[in-house]
Amino acid sequence: MTNGKTTLYRGGAIVTMDDAGTEHEQGWVLVDGTTIADVGAGVEPEADTRVELEGAVVTPGLVNTHHHLYQTLTRARAQQADLFTWLRELYPVWSRIDAEAEYAAARTGLAELALSGCTTVFDHHYVFPHGREGLIEAEVQAARELGVRIVASRGSMDLGVSDGGLPPDELVEELDAVLAETERLASALHEPGPGARVQLAVAPCSPFSVTGRLMEESAALARRLELSLHTHLAETVEEEAYCLELHGCRPVEYLERLGWLADDVWCAHCVHLSADDIARFAATGTGVAHCPTSNLRLGAGVAPVRALLDADVRVGLGVDGSASNERGDLFGEVKQALLVARGRGGPTAMSARDAIRLGTRGGATVLRRDDIGSLEPGKQADLAIWRTDGLELGGADDRVAGLVFTAPHRVARLVVGGEEVVRDGALVRADEVEIARAHRVAARRFAA
C-alpha cells in the first residue's frame, strides 16, 4: 500500500545509520510520499519515478543541534578573543537585530546548512531587544520557504551586568515576559509528533546571563508544555570560575541543583566535564551538542566526546553560531568531530562511521526525534545524497570513509520529507545569489 507518489533512489551506497549500522554497497531507498517505505539491495521494487544515484553515497539528512542563525550578520569579529571578551564586544552589535535582519540572516544560515546536507536545524535565539517583535517568526518563515525542518527556541537573558551577569542591562528581559512569550510561541508554532516541520524548545542562554529562578521557571514551563530544554554549559574555564564565584559550585552541579539534569535537556559545548560530570549526564539522560569548530575558534578546548559516547550519553553535532564558527557546514563538522576526538584520544578514538552517526542519529536523539536520523522504513524521507566522482574522492575505495576524510562537500541532492530542496548542488526553492545579496544589505547595519 502506498501513501503517495513513490520514488526509487537506486545505484548508490546506502548508509542507513540503523542500530546495526547497516550499509548497502549497491543499494536503493524507496520513498513513498513523505516517508521511507523500504531500503535494500538486489531486487528493486516498482516505483512511479526512478532516480539514478550513479555511485553516490546516501546518508540520512544531517541534524544540527546548536546554532545562532542571526550571527551570520557578524562574522569575523573579535578574532582573537576568549568567549567572555567576544560576547562583551558583540552584545551591543547584536542589539541592532530586528525581524528583517533576522530573516536575512536565517535564510543565509539555513541555505548554508542545507547545502552541507542538513535537513533539521535547531536554532538558539536569545537576543530580544525591547520592542523588536517577530524574530522567531522570521526564522521559521525562512525555514518554511527553503524547505528544511526547524526546531526554533525562545531563548532568554535576565541577569544583566548590574546584577553580576555578563550581558548589558538593556539586553535583559523580565522573567514573566519571557515565560509568557515562550508560551505564546509554543501554541502558535510547535508541532508535536512525527514529521514535524516546526518545533519550539525552551532555551535560557547560560549560567552567566540567566538567573537561577528563570532557569527553574523555564524548566517548569517546558515540562508543562512537553517541550525540550536547552542551554549553554561548561564551555570555558572562565565560565567555571564564574560559576564557582557566583553560585559556589561548578556548572554541572549548578544545573543539577536547578533540576536541569534530565532526559528532556541537552546542553551545548560541555567542554570542561569531569569524569563525575559525565557519569551524571549518563545517569540522568542529559544530552550534549558538540561544537568542535567553535570551541577551537574561541580557544575553549575540546569536549570529551569519546568518554561521553562510552558512557552512553546522547551526543549530536552543532555548527554553533556564525560569529564563532564562521562556516555553517555541518558535514564539515562531522570531519572536525573526528579530528578533535583523535587529537585528544589518538587515531582509534573515532571512526568515520562514528562521526557520521553523531551528525545524523546522534542529533536526532538529542532533539528527542525518533522519526529522523536514520534510513529505515517508516522514518521521514530525509536524505542527503553525496557525489563521489569528483577530484577529492579519486582513489578512495571506501567511499563512505572517504567522504568524511575529504570533507567539506556540497551536497548533490537533499530530500526533506520526500521533497527535494537541493538538486544538482543548488537550492530548489530559492536563489542563493539573491540570498547572499540581500544578506549583505542587511549586514551593513551591523558593521563594526
* Residue ranges in contact with Zn ion by CB under 5 A: 320
Per-residue cell: 223:
515540562
The residue (of 13 and 255) whose beta carbon lies closer to Zn ion is 255
DSSP state of 380: B
CB of 383 vs Zn ion, minimal distance in Å: 28
Closest distance to Zn ion from the beta carbon of 371 (Å)? 25
In 3D space, the residue among 403, 396, 447, 446 whose CA is nearest the CA of residue 117 turns out to be 403
CA–CA gap between residue 61 and residue 359 (Å, rounded)? 9
Q: How far is the CB of 94 from Zn ion (least distance, A)?
A: 13
CB hemisphere CA count around 179 (13 angstroms): 16
* Grid cell of 120 as nine digits: 533539521
Cα–Cα distance, 54 to 52 (Å, whole number)? 6
User: Pairing relation of β-strands 426-427 and 419-423?
Assistant: antiparallel
In the structure grid, which three cell numbers stand for residue 364, read together? 536526532
- What percent of the chain is helix, strand and coil (3-state, nearest 5)? 40, 20, 40
Least distance (Å) between residue 282 CB and Zn ion: 23
Identify which of residues 277 and 320 has a Cβ nearer to Zn ion in the complex. 320
The residue at minimum Cβ distance from Zn ion is 320
Distance CA(82)–CA(300), nearest Å, equals 7
Look up cell 544583566; give the residue: 160
When the beta carbons of 32 and 158 are compared against Zn ion, the nearer one is 158
- 239 vs 382, which CB is nearer to Zn ion? 239
Residues 6+ apart with CB under 8 A from 275: 307
In the complex with Zn ion, the residue whose CB is nearer, 7 or 322, is: 322
CA pair distance 201, 182, nearest whole angstrom: 9
Cβ proximity to Zn ion: between 56 and 87 the closer is 87
- Tell me the closest approach of the beta carbon of residue 288 to Zn ion, in angstroms: 13
